[in-house]
């Protein structure tokens, strides 16, 4: 399975492709990248605009449909 990187804030919301924070119920709309460097760059860009943002990079796998399998609170991998 392929790994992708997602961005999650301190309120457990995920960044979507429109640069909005959402609950992750629509996995197809989430921002994701296979490159850790891209995730880091996006995190920095958002942090510059909102210095109080607490953003973590989450690693997850893609399911059979190519959508991110969001980690549960118990198995979350933050970096």
CA gap 78, 75 in Å, rounded? 10
Q: Is 18 a member of any domain?
A: yes
Q: Is 76 a member of any domain?
A: no
Least confident range of 19-28, 29-38, 63-72: 63-72
Domain that holds residue 46: 3-61
H/E stretch holding 36: helix 36-49
Q: Is 57 a member of any domain?
A: yes
Q: Is 69 a member of any domain?
A: no
Q: Is 23 a member of any domain?
A: yes
- The number of domains in the chain is 1
Q: Is 72 a member of any domain?
A: no
What pLDDT, on the 0 to 100 scale, is given for residue 72? 66
Is 52:58 a contact under the CB 8 Å cutoff? no
What pLDDT, on the 0 to 100 scale, is given for residue 71? 72
Q: Is the pTM of this model over 0.75?
A: yes
Q: Is 74 a member of any domain?
A: no
Q: Is 68 a member of any domain?
A: no
Residue 43 β-bridge partners: none
């Amino acid at each position: 399975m392929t790994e992708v990187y997602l961005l999650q804030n301190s309120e457990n919301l995920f960044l979507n492709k429109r640069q909005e924070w959402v609950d992750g119920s629509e996995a197809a709309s989430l921002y994701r990248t296979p490159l850790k460097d891209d995730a880091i760059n996006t995190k920095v860009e958002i942090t510059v605009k909102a210095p109080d943002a607490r953003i973590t990079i989450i690693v997850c796998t893609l399911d059979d449909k190519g959508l991110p399998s969001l980690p549960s609170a118990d198995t979350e991998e933050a970096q």
